[in-house]
Amino acid sequence: MAEFETVIIGGTIIDGLRTPRFTADIGIKGGRVAYIGRLQPHEGDEVIDASGLIVAPGFVDVHTHYDGQIFWDPYCTMSGWHGITSVVVGNCGFSFAPVRPEMRDRAMLMLSRTEAIELEALQAGMPWDWVTFPEYLDSLDRQAKGVNVTSYCGVSPLMMWVMGLEAGKGRTATDDEIEQMCVLLDEALEAGACGWSAQWAGNDSGQRDYDGTSMLSDLMSVEQAHGFSEVLARRRTGLTQINGHGANRPFTETWARHEKLAEISGRPVLHNVVEFFTDQQGNAVGNYRETIEWLNACKRSSSVSTLAMVSAKSLSSGVNQSDGWLSRGGGTGTDAGSFSWTSARKALNQAARSTVCGRSSAVGVPGSL
Ligand SMILES: [Zn+2]
């Protein structure tokens, strides 16, 4: 038996640590990279010739809505086709657990408008062999998958479960209801959820429910959000994903809200989203520079950990301006002719440097917010 299960010979390695690319061989033992250097083919039970190919870690797509699709498309097309090996679902407060059987259609309808996933496709493709969040993760475990997957616990299902749809859209949660939701979140984290998520943009949120009303999580009270952050603090685990800018709210107010969640939880907040646009001279349009300044201020603070996600939607605006995504998503529009790749790349690099943990900003899929 050879020393390594697999050796990958002659590939060009890009290690994901910003090391310049280099040519080397890789030895895999126990399912993990055990050696990077010079190896001979006889040192592996299996030999992969990677000459002329890039050898790189898989990418993590941290913002997806494959919650339904993963059940009929194990590679999560298109992500799987583009080198992504891990996806995160349950973003923006949308997830499919916990959901009582009689509310399944209503939960699916929430994704039908904003995420443009047909109800009929979801009905046909989802097994719905769960009710609670832990049961949902068990179902995902049973599913044959071509990618790794983890899920946030979305706020909208928690509100629908505890308050009901009508009350959730009509009033804020009582202290007792917040406590009940915190118990459910705690249960979800215990089962393996990576944190909690919400679209938290208020009544004027650009991304509406299928019937034109606000999403449940848009109407979450500050007290409710702080309650969830306290759960993360107690458990010392998980992160918060917030897509949270209302059309009529100053950006500074949104940033302050997100900072507070990071302070209370002591855990990272993933702020969605930095969108950058430039005019034809490369001058900034919109507020991405101010957002990056805020992120840098968070980075200097010892108590606030805030990461940012950069929208690929704005990166790709030069080519998909005509499809209506910018106006539908509430983003700041710009003429197709004014898009500058050079400026966009600079802004992306700037944003990546502004992340507190030194991790690169997320890669999103156009239209997946
Ligand atoms: Zn989203």
239-251 per-position pLDDT tens digit: 999 988 777 788 8
Q: What is the CA radius of gyration of the chain?
A: 22
Distance 197 CA to ligand 1 centre (A): 9
Share of the chain above pLDDT 90, in %: 60
216-242 per-position pLDDT tens digit: 999 999 999 999 999 999 999 999 999
| Residue 17, Cβ density class (10 Å: 0-12 exposed, 13-18 middle, ≥19 buried) | exposed
Distance 114 CA to ligand 1 centre (A): 9
329-365 per-position pLDDT tens digit: 223 333 333 334 455 455 555 544 443 322 223 333 3
Return the domain boundaries, the chain: 4-55, 59-267
Dihedral over Cα of 112, 118, 120, 123: its sign: negative
The arithmetic mean of pLDDT across residues 68-84, rounded, is: 92
Given this model, what pLDDT does residue 176 score? 98
Spatial separation of the C-alpha atoms in residues 172 and 163, rounded to whole Å: 9
36-66 per-position pLDDT tens digit: 999 999 999 999 999 999 999 888 888 999 9
Distance 25 CA to ligand 1 centre (A): 38
Whether a cis peptide bond, with omega within 30° of 0, leads into 183 is no
Distance 203 CA to ligand 1 centre (A): 17
Distance 217 CA to ligand 1 centre (A): 12
Spatial separation of the C-alpha atoms in residues 319 and 339, rounded to whole Å: 9
Query: If pLDDT is split at 50, 70 and 90, which confidence band does 3 have?
Result: very high
83-100 per-position pLDDT tens digit: 899 999 999 999 999 999
Distance 365 CA to ligand 1 centre (A): 10
Distance 42 CA to ligand 1 centre (A): 47
Listed in sequence order, the residues at least 6 apart from 93 whose beta carbon sits closer than 8 Å to its beta carbon are 154, 155, 156, 197, 198, 199, 200, 215, 216, 217, 243
> Does the domain formed by 4-55 have CATH 2.40.30.10?
no
Distance 199 CA to ligand 1 centre (A): 8
Share of the chain above pLDDT 70, in %: 80
Given this model, what pLDDT does residue 278 score? 67
Distance 39 CA to ligand 1 centre (A): 44
pTM more than 0.85 = no
Helix (H) or strand (E) segment spanning residue 87: strand 84-89
Residue 324 has pLDDT above 50, yes or no: no
Distance 92 CA to ligand 1 centre (A): 5
Given this model, what pLDDT does residue 1 score? 86
Residue 265 has pLDDT above 80, yes or no: yes
Given this model, what pLDDT does residue 310 score? 65
Query: If pLDDT is split at 50, 70 and 90, which confidence band does 284 have?
Result: low
Distance 47 CA to ligand 1 centre (A): 40
Distance 285 CA to ligand 1 centre (A): 23
Distance 246 CA to ligand 1 centre (A): 15
Query: If pLDDT is split at 50, 70 and 90, which confidence band does 133 have?
Result: very high
Q: What is the mean pLDDT of the chain?
A: 83
CATH class of the domain defined by 59-267 = alpha beta
Distance 341 CA to ligand 1 centre (A): 24
Distance 367 CA to ligand 1 centre (A): 9
Given this model, what pLDDT does residue 319 score? 34
Distance 161 CA to ligand 1 centre (A): 21
The arithmetic mean of pLDDT across residues 10-20, rounded, is: 90
Residue 308 has pLDDT above 80, yes or no: no
